[in-house]
Structure formats: C-alpha cells, structure tokens
C-alpha cells in the first residue's frame, strides 16, 4: 500500500472533489459581521446596520 500511495502521489493528478460556495447579498451599512471557517457562518452576534441619515 505504501508503494501504491507513493506512485499515485508522484504520478496521479490531484483533483479537488468539493468546493465550498455560498451566495451573499451585500447590504450598505452592515458592520460587525464575522465570517468563520468553523462554526456558525456567518455570525451575526456583533453585527449592526448603521443607517446614514
């Protein structure tokens, strides 16, 4: 198995099988939004919308 793994890593292509994608809508004045790689994503705990008047 070691030789087979070594051969594949040296001669075989590496192709990603999964891409993480998400669609987002941008809101003017949104502040404090946290994007996490692990856990709640997005985290709106500290988010706020600041309106210009």
What pLDDT shows up at residue 15? Answer: 72
pTM: 0.39
Locate the domains of the chain by residue range. 23-53
What pLDDT shows up at residue 10? Answer: 87
What pLDDT shows up at residue 3? Answer: 92
The per-residue pLDDT for range 1-53, each reduced to its tens digit, is 999 888 888 888 777 777 667 767 778 888 888 887 777 778 888 888 888 76
> In sequence order, what DSSP letters do the residues of 2-42 get, joined into one string?
HHHHHHHHHHS---------------TTEE--B--SSSSSS
Q: How far is the C-alpha of 48 from the C-alpha of 34, rounded, in Å?
A: 11
Q: How far is the C-alpha of 52 from the C-alpha of 30, rounded, in Å?
A: 11
């Amino acid at each position: 198995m070691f030789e087979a793994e070594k051969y594949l890593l040296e001669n075989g292509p590496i192709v990603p099988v999964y891409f993480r994608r998400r669609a987002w809508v941008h809101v003017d004045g949104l502040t404090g939004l946290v994007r996490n790689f692990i856990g709640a994503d997005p985290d709106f705990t500290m988010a706020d919308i600041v309106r210009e008047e």
